[in-house]
């Protein structure tokens, strides 16, 4: 079987054979792969022109719905991927992380559409006033780069590694060329075949290079983005290539790191936290056979608890059955390839020069349901290093398999220093029920970590665990970990967009951003905005309301109705030393009265008011003040119908500007409403 490349709209073989592929469990040769001879300049240009043009025309709402449709499709056919995933050495749990975890990334990123405008581009932050009279302002927008995201992925997560990346760049409106590890590219290829066959993504949005990919980044430009997951050494070489520097190509490096797990001093034997710690570390050693960039490599324990942890952890590791994942009872499969076995063994032998193995054996271990001489099997190895400040190889040598080292610390400061010796990690965990200790550790260790997990009995049942990056949180880390940042919700999407400052009159900036900017033209709405359907509303159109003079009776009545008898509203004798000159109207009365002024009471397209954002009371309102409202269409956000019976509607944000008899603003708020569409088919 020849694993193919999907390029230029077709499935293509590369020239010759670059690599023979083997089943990690049986050692059986079941195919080959090559990307030799591919025209990478044309591949990248095809993505930019074909896929990029289509994606950039779509709004965030449309891209999000497309990702959701893809996720729903893939979850329905997920079982297609499990049997082939086993060939990578993965157990059912390992495969679940890779397959369903990857699809979960699509769902999570699809949900981000609700946080973006109904536009192809993003409006970033708030306007900046830049002139005395407000006729000249600045703002920022972010537009999709007119390039391609080139993803160079590692062997350990052939599906998750691809989906967690493409979900983000597609949401941003940028196409991708994916180059998985050639060793496990067969599983990525199967997933891509299903994606392409679904026709959910526009053509050119996703291309696949299955082989070695030599030359894949030779033709990148400053509009392209490269992401690399793998060894720090390889990543740095690629990042430092002259044309990458010359073109200022964004390069996101996420490298394997020497992550730590710390047992808090309070988590002694007999506490739930001690048991949680042992279970968590054992899981990190054995899940994916330790082939995770986030796996625990350094186990930090109070020195008085070293023997207890070593005994408990060794006993738990001894219960781990290694073998064919199809065999009942097997809890740890094989490494991905025999080459990985050689590499891990080499690094274990290097570590053995400074520290002792206290559990496991490189040669003598049992394998269930398979031949360990044919498959890529490896025993869990637990080292002990009693002097981590002098025997420092453990802080620089990573055996990318089921290998970890136990080491002592005297106090929290020393634990932080040991963590720092790793020179930058993707993740560190601390297991403690002492929140003061947790706070101190997190604030001291955060500068060297991309993520910190604080684990205890209160959250353990629902915790996603040390080794699980989550799509709405950033994944990456400083120093050795590469200095990159992936995922992270909106943050991840913005990596693929260009931030541009825009300057001009508020009316012009309003037209560009499709958000009303203070100082822009405010044409009077006719009819009232509550009489208009979603499609009929225009950004900036305004209702100028009747006015109301506030009385002491208003203040007293509102206090009686609300139960708010705060002294500033009800006791004029208590105002000395305050900012108030006399009894002041409740801010919420002012807002409520504003609603009474701007609401059109008759039934119309407005379905409901469901929230208030950014409410501020900017000037005291005393009895005798006269207030009015400028009620302005601020922003419109399309909503999809949940089903055929759902009402077609959109979200409209209205700016509520409450002003007094002097024309000065006394209160500001953004009201969110659901408004029916004129066209109920959409």
**Is 211:36 a contact under the CB 8 Å cutoff?**
yes
| Catalytic annotation, pick one of 189, 265, 280, 293 | 293
In contact, 309 and 358? CB cutoff 8 Å = no
Q: What are the residues whose beta carbons fall under 8 Å from the beta carbon of 339, sequence distance 6 or more?
A: 183
> Which pair of tokens denotes residue 397?
């040598």
Q: Smallest Cα–Cα separation from 64: which of 107, 103, 104? A: 107
Query: Which three-class secondary structure state does DSSP give residue 398?
Result: coil
Three-state DSSP class for residue 10:
strand
Q: Calculate the CA dihedral of residues 425, 426, 430, 435 and round it to 10 degrees.
A: 110
By the 8 A CB rule, do 19 and 182 touch? yes
Tokens 């360990």 locate to 372
Q: Are 263 and 302 a contacting pair, CB within 8 Å?
A: yes
Residues near 319 by Cβ (< 8 Å), separated by ≥ 6?
A: none
Beta strands in 452-554 (DSSP E): 452-455, 474-475, 486-487, 497-504, 542-544, 548-549
Secondary structure letter of residue 584 according to DSSP: B
Q: How far apart are CA 594 and CA 632, in angstroms?
A: 13
Beta-bridge partner residues of 138: 128, 503
Dihedral sign of CA atoms 415, 417, 422, 423 in order: positive
How many whole angstroms separate alpha carbon 340 and alpha carbon 115?
42
Alpha carbon distances (Å) from 475 to 71, 491, 664: 21, 11, 46
Answer whether 333's CB lies under 8 Å from 289's CB: yes
- Rounded to whole angstroms, the Cα distance separating 17 from 526 reads 71
Element containing residue 96 per DSSP (H, E) = helix 92-111
Count CA atoms closer than 13 A to 227's CA, side-chain side: 29
459 catalytically annotated = no
Helix axes 552-562, 587-598, angle to 10 degrees: 100
User: Is 293 labeled as catalytic in the residue annotation?
Assistant: yes
Q: How far apart are CA 200 and CA 64, in angstroms?
A: 12
Residue of 486, 494, 517, 523 lying closest to 504 (CA atoms): 517
Catalytic residue among 164, 182, 189, 254: 254
Residue 323 and residue 378 in contact, taking contact as beta carbons nearer than 8 Å: no
- DSSP bridge partners of 409: 302
CB-based contact 134:518 (threshold 8 Å)? yes
Cα distance between residue 227 and residue 236, in whole Å: 12
Reference 380, options 439, 314, 444, 310; nearest CA is 314
- For 660, left (φ over 0), alpha (ψ -120 to 50), or beta? beta
Q: Which residues are identified as catalytic? A: 254, 293
């Amino acid at each position: 079987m020849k694993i193919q490349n999907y390029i230029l709209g077709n499935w293509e073989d590369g020239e010759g054979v670059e690599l023979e592929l083997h089943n990690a469990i049986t050692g059986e040769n079941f195919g080959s792969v090559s990307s030799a001879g591919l025209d990478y300049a044309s591949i990248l240009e095809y993505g930019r022109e074909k896929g990029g043009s289509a994606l950039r025309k779509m709004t965030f709402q449309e891209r999000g719905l497309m990702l959701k449709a893809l996720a729903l499709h893939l979850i329905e056919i997920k079982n297609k991927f499990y049997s082939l995933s086993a060939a990578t050495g993965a157990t059912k749990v390992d495969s679940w992380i890779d397959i369903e975890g990857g699809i979960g990334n699509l769902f999570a990123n699809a949900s981000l559409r609700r946080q973006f405008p109904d536009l192809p581009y993003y409006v970033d932050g708030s306007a900046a006033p830049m002139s005395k009279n407000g006729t000249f302002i600045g703002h920022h927008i972010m537009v999709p780069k007119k390039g391609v995201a080139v993803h160079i992925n590692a062997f350990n997560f052939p599906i998750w590694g691809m989906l967690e990346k493409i979900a983000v760049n597609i949401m941003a409106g940028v196409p991708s060329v994916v180059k998985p590890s050639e060793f496990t590219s067969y599983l990525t290829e199967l997933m891509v075949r299903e994606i392409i066959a679904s026709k959910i993504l526009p053509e050119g949005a996703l291309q696949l290079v299955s082989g070695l990919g030599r030359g894949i980044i030779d033709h990148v430009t400053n509009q392209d983005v490269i992401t690399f997951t793998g060894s720090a050494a390889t990543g740095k070489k690629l990042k430092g290539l002259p044309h990458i520097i010359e073109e200022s190509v964004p390069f996101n490096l996420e490298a394997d790191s020497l992550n730590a797990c710390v047992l808090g001093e309070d988590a002694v034997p007999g506490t739930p936290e001690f048991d949680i710690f042992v279970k968590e570390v054992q899981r990190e050693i054995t899940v994916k056979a330790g082939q995770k960039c986030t796996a625990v490599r350094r186990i930090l324990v109070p020195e008085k608890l070293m023997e207890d942890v070593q005994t408990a952890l060794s006993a738990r590791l001894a219960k781990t059955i290694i073998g064919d994942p199809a065999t009942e009872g097997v809890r740890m499969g094989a490494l991905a390839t025999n080459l990985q076995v050689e590499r891990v063994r080499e690094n274990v032998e290097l570590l053995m020069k400074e520290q002792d193995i206290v559990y496991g054996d490189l040669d003598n271990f049992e394998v269930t349901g398979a031949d360990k001489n044919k498959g890529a099997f490896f025993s869990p190895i637990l080292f002990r290093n009693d002097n981590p400040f002098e025997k420092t190889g453990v802080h620089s040598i990573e055996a990318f398999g089921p290998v970890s080292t136990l080491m002592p610390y005297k106090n929290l400061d020393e634990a932080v220093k040991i963590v720092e010796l790793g020179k930058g990690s993707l993740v560190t965990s601390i297991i403690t029920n002492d929140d003061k200790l947790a706070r101190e550790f997190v604030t001291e260790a955060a500068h060297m970590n991309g993520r910190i997990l604080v684990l205890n009995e209160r959250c353990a049942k629902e915790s996603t665990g040390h080794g699980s990056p989550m799509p709405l949180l950033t994944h990456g880390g400083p120093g050795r970990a590469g200095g990159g940042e992936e995922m992270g919700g909106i943050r991840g999407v913005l990596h693929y967009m260009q931030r541009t400052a825009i300057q001009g009159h508020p009316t012009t900036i309003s037209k560009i951003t499709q958000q009303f900017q203070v100082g822009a033209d405010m044409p009077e709405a006719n009819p009232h905005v509550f009489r208009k359907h979603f499609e009929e509303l225009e950004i900036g159109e305004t209702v100028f309301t009747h006015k109301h003079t506030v009385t002491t009776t208003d203040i007293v009545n509102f206090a009686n109705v609300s139960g708010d008898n705060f002294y500033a509203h009800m006791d004029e004798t208590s105002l000395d030393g305050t900012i108030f000159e006399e009894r002041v109207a409740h801010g919420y009365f002012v807002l409520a009265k504003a609603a009474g002024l701007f609401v059109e009471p008759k039934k119309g397209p407005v379905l409901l008011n469901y929230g208030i954002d950014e409410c501020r009371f900017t000037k005291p309102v005393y009895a005798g003040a006269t207030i009015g409202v400028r009620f302005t269409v601020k922003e419109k956000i399309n909503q999809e119908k949940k089903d055929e019976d759902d009402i077609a509607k959109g979200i409209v944000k209205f700016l509520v500007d409450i002003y007094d008899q002097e024309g000065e603003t006394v209160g500001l708020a953004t009201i969110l409403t659901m408004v029916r569409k004129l066209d109920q088919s959409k």
